[in-house]
Structure 1
Amino acid sequence: MSQGTNLRRYHAAVWDEPLIMEQGAPGRRGTVPPAPIEGSGIDDLIPAAMRRKTPPVLPEAAEPDTLRHYLHLSQQTMGMVGISLFGTCTMKYNPRVNERLAARDQVAEIHPHQDDSTVQGLLEVVHEFDLMLRDLSGMDRFVFQAGGGAAAAYIHACVTRAYHESRGELAQRRDVITTAQAHPCNPATAAAAGFNVITLPVEEDGYPSLDALRAVVGERTASLMINNPDDMGIYNPNIKQWVDIVHEAGGLCFYDHANFNGVMGRIRAAELGFDACMFMLHKTFGVPKGGGGPAVGAYGCTAELEPFLPGPLVVKTDSGYERRENEAGVGRVREFLGNLPQVVKAYSWLLAMGGDGIREAADISVLANNYMESRLLAIPGITKSFGHLTLRRLEMTRFSLGEYTEETGVTVVDVQNRMTDFGVDAFWLSHEPWIVPEPFTPEAGEAWSIEDIDYWIDVLEHVLGEGRADPAMVKSAPHNQVVAQIDGSSLDDPARWATTWRAYQRKNA
């Protein structure tokens, strides 16, 4: 352990109480609204056919009861209040000022059908943020409609399809090339768009060889879809040659910037020759992520692909800003302009950081990762992917507990569960399929202090020691959390799980 570090005594709050739908009593109220003024005509605003015949099934609870219940729920949720070195997705602090900005009426209460003249401020933010991302990438236009990284990758798959169709080559160009270390959204969205997927295996240098790429590129190539650096922190130094090889065959090249945090301000996708790229606003740009959202995948492309973008596009004119449909575009991948409150947060974050700030953040991210690597590899039982490679990794490194599991029988999931007993968030493992055994992928980014990083590593070292002394205790963890290990047998049984109160009542009688 680091010198002077003591593990804190921790136990999560546990409130043994029913759901809010099961609380309260008939007639109990927090607020009693006034009765309609007689003769006001309010009753006539709702047609008789649309009026409820029975009251809605809602809990009847007093304000103190309701406040107490949701306070208890918040106490049982760790979220980002623990130390969350969550790799493959850059989980970083989300500034509260940005949450306040997005909650203002000028953002939260805007209706998407409002006339452009009434939302000039919001349209200006969208346009200005588009220009900022152009500076970071060298692309010619960005859209923010995609509801996350996978949706942005799907935009590229659709744009690729439309581009080749416009040239009369779609029937011929059916192959999308990716690698075993690319994020799964790249092959998945290519397949969803109707392409064949060719996955190149990772070789001794930590990435596929140029010869492997040349062997699959040809007149059937539609696009290359990859991320670089990958989740093992390895940057492919031949990436410009990759792009040239695909372009010579007539294909497009897409840069998945999910791992942009360690190279912010250092590389630009267009200067490497890419035709399109995406950024994760809910990762790199300080926007919250969790529970499936709120996510935004910013998709940018060169002028050659701009005609195929999904609309509407925000355009600056002499009289202000307006939305214009993109007549030849691929159509919507999400409603309207996308999740604009998240764009406002990302715009605010990037303004606050500035060019110097993002370069410094990238430096801190790389420095923190290599500091973590030096400490983690000193712990018995931990190895790293492609351990024979001695070059420094970028924003993350994929580690393995394979040797430790063989020695103790304690798996990486067991260790993950036990670490939460000390008030730190569970680490991320790896995308499937696992290239290294029992993987885990921590990432500090620029958000965590040296004290936080040391404490997280100290917890991991302590848990690994426990696993050697008392494997059963670690395998049965967590012990200090809100819930212990759950029985997941019902998760795939539609007769048992319920996502709404009505379904819960129906299935549990």
Structure 2
Amino acid sequence: MPLTDYDTYDFANRRHIGPSPDEMDEMLKVVGCDTLDALIDETVPKSIRQADPLPWPQMTEHAILNRMRDLAAKNRVTVSMIGQGYSDTVTPPAIQRNILENPAWYTAYTPYQPEIAQGRLEALLNFQTMVSDLTGLPVANASLLDEATACAEAMVMAQRVAKSKAGAFFVDVRCHPQNIAVMRTRAEPLGIELIVDEVDALDADAVFGAIFQYPDTYGGLRDLTPQIEALHGTGALGIVATDLLALCLLKEPGAMGADIAVGSAQRFGVPLGYGGPHAAFFACADAYKRSMPGRLVGVSVDSHGNKAYRLALQTREQHIRREKATSNVCTAQALLAVMASFYAVFHGPKGLHHIATHVHSHAVALRDALKGAGFAVEPDHVFDTLTVNVGAMQGVIWRSARAEGITLRRLGHDRIGIACDELTDADVLTRLLRAFGIEAQVAAMRTDIPDALKRQSDYLTHPIFHMNRAEAEMMRYMRRLADRDLALDRSMIPLGSCTMKLNAAVEMMPVTFPEFGRLHPFAPVEDAEGYAEMIGELSDRLCVITGYDAMSMQPNSGAQGEYAGLLTIAAYHRANGQENRRVCLIPTSAHGTNPASAQMAGMKVVIVKAADNGDVDLDDFRTKAEAAGDDLAACMITYPSTHGVFEDTVREVCEITHRHGGQVYLDGANLNALVGLAKPGEIGADVSHLNLHKTFCIPHGGGGPGMGPIGVKAHLAPYLPGHPETGGETGPVSAAPYGSASILPISYAYVMMMGGSGLTQATRVAILSANYIAKRLEGAFDVLFTGQNGRVAHECILDTRPFADSAGVTVDDVAKRLIDNGFHAPTMSWPVAGTLMVEPTESEPKPELDRFIAAMLAIREEIRQVESGDADREDNPLRNAPHTMEDLVRDWTHPYSREAACFPPGAFRVDKYWPPVNRVDNVAGDRNLICTCPPVEEYLEAAE
């Protein structure tokens, strides 16, 4: 179908791409081009353009839904009793409908602008409080990617902060296999020796830390206090990987003296999803809070002294610390952490205790019945998991259970693992016992936890976990929090490098199909044929789009993709007997995760200068490549550049790297400017990660989920990440073989509905929209970098630095004033301090682009008034922004009007977004770090 045909069934042009054909013509006139083809010819170097168009046709919305139902039907959902860190769970419908399926929650961006993120920040603070209470440790972060990653992060943090200078780390052999595997992957390039053994073999003198699974992967429970005390005696740290639901009944890690506790919050209402996305948790002792990886929500005050939430201690983040960063964590799992926190609010401590008791009592009943029938069952005391020695009958029993619609865990050749969960009931146990040849009624439910392992402390005592749980009140609480935030369902979010494009409803719908949501990541392959077909088709399409030969879907964030790509390169060099290749060349303009990922992969980062126009300094690159010589492992570049420009020299950068035996890693963050026009694999790159949460429509979810699969050329394909469940030459980087598989239907649906022509048109319109904004703002703001013919790529950098001298107005002032105009600020001070990076995407219609332009021009006029002396340099709308509704009823002492403060150009009058707080004081929050729900007294005062 030609792109000019504009009918109801053309998803690309009537749903995804914002500007209409007439609006595009108007925009092209402003830009100064007769046609879109002419603009692309002026913008994208012909030397990198691909020869052939993307070949597949577009699908309609109803056709893709039918296709997704067909794929879902090829998955077989059984009662999963595999366990191993994953449990089936009930997502309360109120949470599914009002959080998971609500664009107010799933289209929001990371809460770096706290004034417009108070709702999700409160929900994440609830998550931190929940984790802190249940683990018994005072500080928890706002989530990590998955449990295995959290284990690896804990190991590295322990090495950094432990007083012990030993070089080894102890791993309980009864940890979940995927946790051990991811820790091995992380340890090897950092030179950490892993000692994997039984807990009783721990030699505290030989290690800087140790991690224990509690309950362990076979169901065992033990009080780890003696082991942790022994570790503390040598200056080492004790880490416990644990289960939040189990901690409702069991002695918590903090009571054992643990320094760090990690795990997954998945069973708190988050679907299995064939492995993710799931929110991991990470809690630690107070002494280590400033070394903790990931995001941390804290409590501060706004400019009027009112309580306000914010992300705390952001100077720890890899964007700032770069190669000195201790972690490359960039995307968390905010949306899933929000779901887990609402699950705790929904059920409260009594409800969670009841669910935990339900799970435990069914496991006890099962254990008693199996023992009564003569089976050898371990351990003696369980929470939810038990192991049965069945000898040569393993296969027969496993298949019998499958005939009953139940999937068990095979352990070795003679044992079977069984894990109960929230959905386990008497019928499931009856069918399961029948698979063991036992025809018996399930015994009366009872608990059986030794007194020494029973939890003695209270948890979830804050009033938020004791609110009226009538659904009306719950629904209103979720709505109140959502209304405090600014997401894509309210306005454009013009974030450079983050591509906040449309997340179409039709793409989101299959995520909650039970056939995608209720599949265990280690289910038999025959149960996941629909997933396999979808992942295969999506991988094939992505290979065609990028010019690569193979894809790995395992990395569950962009930063994990970088890390996985560099590990793949390192494995390739190692296989060729070139372990000496450790140097990685990275331009100063690179994303902060790039040097952090290289450091994690055991590479030595060498920084390459940028030229005055923002391009890679080719002379400096050539010099440093030659200096590295046979030690050159890779270079990491972003294309188009981080400055929003198509560099002419990209092929030469690739050629220089290859000439010295290195591999080219091309960061896929800006792929939205390439799809259908140029292929990284044809430009000269060897590996890229693709941000599916940017270019391919997976929503950001308020700071996660994300996915960063990597594409590679054929010579690197054998070294892609492996997994204990699937094999492979290279170790895994994520807990599940396909990462956050349940959100892949979003990208699959997008790629199929857009078709090759629609994907290409999206790229072209993204470039048009960026150039339209740049041209309309010409004369008001300087565009810092441009490419050939004065064009920008899909984003542009506006320079606000001159206003600091001329008017005392900072980039922060401009960003906060945009909130009054009803907009999320563009990316601030990156890659150049004091600037705004604007990316409109292809999804925004011209009226929304014009509203943003009107807001920016009005801000420039306000700056001129300060420059001319017509407005006070200290007391003006910019310095005092944002303004709240409460400002309207305060005594008004400002020299400007309430009208000017609250209804500037761009702001809607009827549907205006009102920020709930004034400007947040970041310094006060870091100085007085509070990272759990405020005290009860303060909560009650706020309620009054």
Aligned pairs for 1:431-470 (under 5 A) are 431=830, 434=832, 437-467=833-863, 468=866, 469-470=871-872
Matched residues in 2 for 1:311 and 1:138: separation? 22
SS across alignment from 2:690: strand
* Aligned-partner Cα distance in 1 for 2:570–2:858: 52
For 1:93-108, list aligned pairs within 5 A. Answer: 93-108=502-517
- Quote the Cα distance in structure 2 between the aligned partners of 1:122 and 1:47: 39
Aligned to 2:700: 289
**Quick check: 385-394 or 453-462, which moved more?**
385-394
Q: Are 1:65 and 2:511 counterparts?
A: no
Structure 1 residues 78 and 43: alpha-carbon distance in aligned structure 2, compared to 1, 3 A threshold: farther
Instruction: Quote how far apart the aligned CAs of 1:324 are.
Output: 3.2
The equivalences for 1:31-180 within 5 A come to 41=442, 44=445, 47-49=448-450, 57=460, 58-61=465-468, 62-80=470-488, 81-171=490-580, 173-180=581-588
| Deviation for aligned residue 1:203 | 1.0
- Cα distance change of structure 1 residues 14 and 91 upon mapping to structure 2, 3 Å threshold: closer
Contact persistence 2:645–2:786 (CA under 8 A): no
1:226 counterpart residue number? 637
SS in 2 for 1:492: helix
Aligned partners of 2:480, 2:787: CA distance in 1, in Å? 49
Q: 1:200 is matched with which residue?
A: 608
| Matches of 1:43 and 1:296, distance apart in 2 | 45
Distance 1:241 1:415 in 2: 39
Is 1:155–1:333's contact at 8 Å kept on the other side of the alignment?
no
Match of 1:332 among 697, 714, 733: 733
1:302 matched to 2:713? yes
**Alignment size in residue pairs:** 474
Mean CA deviation greater in 41-50 or 330-339: 41-50
Match of 1:478 in 2: 882
Q: How far did residue 43 of structure 1 move?
A: 5.3
- CA contact 1:162–1:330 (8 Å) conserved in 2: no
Question: What is the match of residue 598 of structure 2?
Answer: 190
1:243 aligns with 2:243: no
Instruction: Indicate whether 1:369 and 2:802 are aligned.
Output: no
Describe the SS at the equivalent of 2:635.
strand
C-alpha distance in 2, partners of 1:309/1:27? 43
Counterpart of 2:749 (choices 336, 345, 348) is 348
Q: Which amino acid aligns with 1:374?
A: K
Q: Which residue in 1 is equivalent to 2:817?
A: 418
How far apart are 1:460 and its partner, in Å?
Answer: 1.6
Aligned amino acid, residue 930 of structure 2? W
* Residue pair 2:507, 2:746 contacting (<8 A) in 1 also: yes
TM-score, reference length from structure 2:
0.47
Change (3 A) 1:117 1:23: closer
Could you say if the C-alpha distance between residues 430 and 357 of structure 1 is closer, same or farther in structure 2, counting changes exceeding 3 Å? farther
SS in 1 for 2:620: helix
Distance across 2 between alignment mates of 1:192 and 1:75: 39
Following the alignment from structure 1 to structure 2, what is the Cα–Cα distance between the partners of residues 163 and 13?
Answer: 43
Counterpart of 2:666 in 1: which secondary structure?
strand
Is residue 489 from structure 1 mapped to residue 923 from structure 2 by the alignment? Answer: yes
- Report if aligned partners of 1:147, 1:334 keep a CA contact under 8 Å in 2: no
User: Partners of 2:825 and 2:441 in 1: how far apart?
Assistant: 57
Distance apart, 1:335 and its partner CA: 3.1
Name 1:319's counterpart in structure 2. Answer: none
1:159–1:330 contact (8 Å) kept in structure 2: no
Query: 1:168, CA displacement in angstroms?
Result: 2.0
In the alignment, is residue 214 of structure 1 matched against residue 622 of structure 2?
yes
Contact 1:102 1:108 in 2 (8 A): yes
Q: Is the 8 A contact 1:399 1:441 kept in 2?
A: yes
C-alpha deviation, 1:209, in angstroms: 3.6
Following TM superposition, by how much is the alpha carbon of 1:311 offset from its aligned partner in structure 2, in angstroms?
A: 2.0
Q: Which has the larger radius of gyration?
A: 2
Shift of 1:375: 0.9
**2-structure distance, mates of 1:444, 1:53:** 54
The alignment partner of 1:441 has SS state of: strand
Structural RMSD (CA): 3.5
CA displacement at 1:431 relative to structure 2: 2.9
TM-score by length of 1: 0.84
Percent identity of equivalent pairs = 25
Deviations 1:114-168 (A, max 9, x none): 1111121112111111111111112111112112211111112212222222222
Cα deviation 1:235-264 (Å, max 9, x = unaligned): 121211211111111111111111111221
Decide whether the 8 Å contact of 2:813 with 2:878 is kept in 1: yes
Cα deviations by residue, 1:295-328 (Å, 9 ceiling, x for unpaired): 0001011221112111249xxxxxxxxx7321x1
Q: Does 1:360 align with 2:360?
A: no
Q: Greater helix percent: which structure? A: 2
Q: 1:388 to 1:349 in 2, by over 3 A?
A: closer
Instruction: Give the 3-state SS of the residue equivalent to 1:351 in structure 2.
Output: helix
1:378–1:56 distance in 2 versus 1, CA, 3 Å: same
* Between 413-422 and 269-278, the greater mean CA deviation after superposition: 269-278
Deviates more, 1:465-474 or 1:98-107: 465-474
| Equivalent residue number for residue 318 of structure 1 | none
Q: Distance in 2 between matches of 1:13 and 1:156?
A: 33
Q: CA deviation at 1:60?
A: 4.6
The separation in 2 between residues aligned to 1:246 and 1:394, in whole angstroms, is 25
Change (3 A) 1:456 1:40: farther
Which consecutive residues of structure 2, in runs of 5 or more, have no partner in the other structure?
1-25, 27-114, 127-341, 359-424, 427-439, 885-914
1:272 equivalent to 2:683? Answer yes
Distance in 1 (CA, whole Å) between partners of 2:786 and 2:637 is: 23
Q: What do residues 266-297 of structure 1 show as CA deviations (whole Å, max 9, x unaligned)? A: 11122122211111000001110143311000
Is the 1:223–1:246 contact (alpha carbons within 8 Å) kept by the matching residues of 2?
A: yes
